[in-house]
Structure 1
Amino acid sequence: MDVKDFYFELPKEQIAQDPLEDRSASRLLVLDRETGAYEHKIFKNITEYLKPGDCLVLNNTKVIPARLFGEKEGTQAKIEILLLKRKENDIWETLVKPGKKARPGTRISFGGGLLTGEVLDVVEEGNRLIQFTYDGIFEEILDELGQMPLPPYITHQLEDKNRYQTVYAKYNGSAAAPTAGLHFTPELLDEVRGAGVEIAEVTLHVGLGTFRPVKVDDITRHHMHSEFYMISQEAAEKINTAKENGGKIICVGTTSCRTIESAADENGRLKESSGWTEIFIYPGYQFKVLDGLITNFHLPESTLLMLVSALAGREHVLAAYEEAVKQGYRFFSFGDAMLIR
């Protein structure tokens, strides 16, 4: 299967740069995955497509202000660091720019010495392992010094960094937001519950591997980076019960989808679990748990576009994307949404 099979033309002006004032006022393209038929709605209409007994699965990860700007000790050269994965003993796997200035042994100072880091090693894809030293609580220092790690196609920082968090974000750990969830407000979630729909929360800390470009022509040779997930007993029971009783399992975002599909047994059942997943879902994949997906519009040739194509068929998805472009939908993290049902 060729990566070029997932290409589409997107005018730059349709890449959303800012979130809407009202999260739930974004547009919603509803796609029937069997027929390819679609209709245009507003996101707050989502409850029209959820029935009593269905289960909505949310990813409650929280984005950390993971982008740090520091100076190389000795030369004062500017260095930018993106925190990717927390290891033990204040060691993080990081992405460093420029990498050539960060050889093992390099020391970097942030915030006038409030935080310092030493490069320990170079790991896969040229990432660096950095050990940090500081006084106090790391999360508080990060909150003071760090910036939200917005995707490169967003050209400015947010005035309110909470707009790059879902309203149900709980557990720190992500280098990027699970953006399909950005459309929900507390009021809309109350409306969902009031309609008799169960809400199950799972956790997957989103790494940059989800967004890395596919650099091989044959997509089956692409390797996903591992991401940490957790499923509680309560969430597993909610999903299993809804499934047993004939309810639909609708994931909010590709990260929720990848979490439950990674953790399910061959019968599509879940139990309390945690671990690392490298699951790569592309056409031909047989879904074990998921019945429907709420998602944003993704980059051409991305693993995320391949995942939605696995659910609804590549031709249906690309036709829906063509329609979305034609109708002026907003794309990517702060853009509009799609419901695949």
Structure 2
Amino acid sequence: MTLKTSDFDFDLPEELIAQTPLENRASSKLLILDSKTGAIEDTQFPAIIDELNEGDALVMNDTRVLPARLHGEKPDTGGHLEVLLLTNTTGDTWETLIKPAKRAKKGTVISFGNGALKAVVDEELEHGGRMITFSYDGVFLEILESLGEMPLPPYIKERLSDNDRYQTVYAKENGSAAAPTAGLHFTPVVLKKIEDKGVKLVYLTLHVGLGTFRPVSVDDVENHKMHSEFYRLTKDAADTLNAVKENGGKVVAVGTTSIRTLETIGTKFDGKLQEDNGWTDIFIKPGYEFKIVDAFLTNFHLPMSTLIMLVSAFAGKENVLHAYEHAVKERYRFFSFGDAMFVK
């Protein structure tokens, strides 16, 4: 049966798209979906503690979002350019998106923060992006922290007053262009309660690319090409998770990025995990058989996105669309700063 992109559409009133994070991270609502029965429960986020048992593992993505949006100007004309950092390819060279692109020809010099940071356009890429190389005095990440803005998703129109609210409390590894948003609900207090229950807290890294927001532009889902993202799993993390599985515990992933990393490695090594890093463009859609993940926490995703397809692969399209319909009716908050869903 051919999967159509339109099969994953749903009506979402615009006012349900959360524009700002809640004051308290853990005060969001939580919808619990049983993937076998389709049963739905409405509760508050801290109830996730009750869904985890001693001997389970909670797997989180410790990537840190870079303040990757820079405002610069061309020193010769004073023309404004907005630069979005995508991937650090080598040294001080980055793949970027620049607006307006037509003003950023090869050889163009761009100045940021009155010259605290400079860049030269090295190459114009096929998809409209630009390779640029930076020059500066000092530490690049420190300069970026002082000049850059958080690259919030296109559906968020409000400015973020505190950049830390677009980071998880366990963010550590610099490199993402977007936050792994399911993790935004956790507080140190909630994590401590989970750990005290005998649940292993395990971290992996997947640097989220902006492709995560790209809509599926083809009607036949099979023809969609996933973007590539860099992941890393340590030996300690792999050993811990293999032991949890062997002892009958659940591997519970926080967010679609953790799912994609675990399933990429599980697919590569016949249902086992081991130390690994590389680039993944895994596309998890209905028909996919999960090898590692037993349950997961996620946010509410965009209509017709690869993310709602991933959730549907685990819980069934009908169950997921019914849960989304329920969430709309109950006025859940959607997308990056929205409420959460636990799928078991």
Classify the TM-score, shorter chain: over 0.9
Structure 2 counterpart SS, 1:250: strand
Structure 1 counterpart SS, 2:242: helix
Deviations 1:180-222 (A, max 9, x none): 0000000100000111111110000000112211111111111
Tell me the equivalent position of 1:327.
330
Deviations 1:67-111 (A, max 9, x none): 000112322111111101001120001111111111111111111
In the aligned structure 1, how far is the partner of 2:91 from the partner of 2:269?
Answer: 37
Query: Aligned AA for 1:184?
Result: F
In the aligned structure 2, how far is the partner of 1:228 from the partner of 1:73?
Answer: 34
Question: 2:153·2:213 contact (CA, 8 Å) conserved in 1?
Answer: no
Q: Are 1:254 and 2:256 counterparts? A: yes
Tell me the equivalent position of 2:111.
109
Q: Are 1:52 and 2:38 counterparts? A: no
Structure 2 counterpart SS, 1:113: coil
Tell me the equivalent position of 1:166.
168
Give, in angstroms, the shift of residue 124 of structure 1: 4.3
Report the number of matched residues.
341
Tell me the equivalent position of 1:309.
312
Tell me the equivalent position of 1:81.
83
Question: 1:81·1:96 contact (CA, 8 Å) conserved in 2?
Answer: yes
Give, in angstroms, the shift of residue 172 of structure 1: 0.4
Tell me the equivalent position of 1:338.
341
Taking structure 2 as the reference length, what is the TM-score of the superposition? 0.97
Structure 1 unaligned runs (5+)?
A: none
Give, in angstroms, the shift of residue 2 of structure 1: 0.9
In the aligned structure 2, how far is the partner of 1:52 from the partner of 1:261?
Answer: 23
In the aligned structure 2, how far is the partner of 1:220 from the partner of 1:211?
Answer: 18
Tell me the equivalent position of 2:68.
66
Q: 1:196 to 1:124 in 2, by over 3 A?
A: farther
Question: 1:62·1:165 contact (CA, 8 Å) conserved in 2?
Answer: yes
Structure 1 counterpart SS, 2:274: coil
Structure 2 counterpart SS, 1:144: helix
Tell me the equivalent position of 2:102.
100
Query: Aligned AA for 2:71?
Result: F
Q: Are 1:28 and 2:61 counterparts? A: no
Give, in angstroms, the shift of residue 123 of structure 1: 2.3
Structure 2 counterpart SS, 1:149: coil
Tell me the equivalent position of 2:296.
293
Give, in angstroms, the shift of residue 53 of structure 1: 0.9
Question: 1:266·1:288 contact (CA, 8 Å) conserved in 2?
Answer: no
In the aligned structure 2, how far is the partner of 1:109 from the partner of 1:204?
Answer: 30
Q: Percent identity?
A: 59
Taking structure 1 as the reference length, what is the TM-score of the superposition? 0.98
Query: Aligned AA for 1:97?
Result: K
Question: 1:211·1:303 contact (CA, 8 Å) conserved in 2?
Answer: no
Give, in angstroms, the shift of residue 267 of structure 1: 3.1
Deviating 4+ runs (over 3 angstroms): none
In the aligned structure 1, how far is the partner of 2:27 from the partner of 2:292?
Answer: 29
